[in-house]
Amino acid sequence: MREVKLIVILVFILLPFACSNTKFEKTGWIYQSDVGMYPNRENMLKDLTENNTLKGLTYRELIAKIGPDENYNSGYDTCIFYSIMTDYGRNIDPVYTKNLVFKFNNDSVVVDYKIEEWKHEKK
């Protein structure tokens, strides 16, 4: 009986960690760890893209909803992106990146968004 109680307790403790989908909330989305990563975005991505209306938002509405973008004045006129995940492997250069990219029309309204993934090709 004691073993059963222990198993039940462990299941309830570990269950939240097994769930890979977290409800989107802006504070968690914009939280940046001390190494410049966004540890909550991967788990919030599905809820953000499936349960929130993003197309049709203006640039200002999008920024108000999910926080500032990360283009860093990179010359993009009609797209902005949010870093979801960057894996450096055992190097200082990334080996994998995942970004949420928003495309705008000339009136600064979101017309599309997509998840872009890049993986370093080994030579």
Tens-place pLDDT, residues 29-82: 999 998 889 999 999 999 999 999 999 999 999 999 999 998 765 656 789 999
106-118 per-position pLDDT tens digit: 999 999 999 999 9
Residue whose token pair is 């307790």: 9
Domain residue extents for the chain: 21-119
- pTM, whole model, 2 decimals? 0.78
Contact at 8 Å (CB) between 92 and 55? Answer: no
Question: Residue 55 class from Cβ within 10 Å (0-12 exposed, 13-18 middle, 19+ buried)?
Answer: exposed
